[in-house]
Amino acid sequence: MERNSVAGFRSELPEALQLSDAQAEKLANALGDERRRVTREWEQRGAGIAMTAFPAGLVYYPNKTQGVEDRVAEASEFQRRQRERAGEILTAAQLDAFTEQQKDALDFARSGWESEQQARDSGAP
């Protein structure tokens, strides 16, 4: 999963910011480690992992999270932890691009979750 995400991230980077193969491998491993760590924490709270995929990337949150703002908060914390790990591998400019991609993915997710909530609130199927 993370290898695909990193490949997508690499494809969006301008040539001046391209990741080396070694960076890409380290980043995929670090992001996978962090996903597994967070998943274990969520499981200890009685939840599993939920994922929403968007053109800008994947957004993870606990599957028992209710409400848009709670999902955004959980997903934001997960992204913060990913950024922290990515910061150990990426240059400052690459990390800025990574952060922007995360922000775009979360914005897509929020929009989708808000639409779902509005449909539920209006009684639409």
Q: What is the mean pLDDT of residues 57-65?
A: 91
Buried b (16+ CB within 10 A) or exposed e, 75-107: bbebbebbeebbeebbeeebbebbbebbeebbe
In the chain, where are the structural domains located?
A: 2-121
Which tokens belong to 69?
A: 């703002």
Question: How many Å apart are CA 115 and CA 89, to the nearest integer?
Answer: 36
Would the pLDDT of 52 be above 90?
no
Residue 125's pLDDT band (boundaries 50, 70, 90)? Answer: low
pLDDT, tens digit (0-9, with 9 covering 90-100), for 65-83: 989 999 999 999 999 999 9
Of 15-24, 48-57, 86-95, the poorest mean pLDDT is in 48-57
Give the model confidence (pLDDT) of 74-108 as tens digits. 999 999 999 999 999 999 999 999 999 999 999 99
What residue type is 98 in one-letter code? Answer: F
Higher pLDDT, 54 or 5: 5
Tell me: pLDDT of 19 over 70: yes
Taking the alpha carbons at both ends of the chain, their separation in whole angstroms is: 31
Is the model's pTM score more than 0.85?
Answer: yes
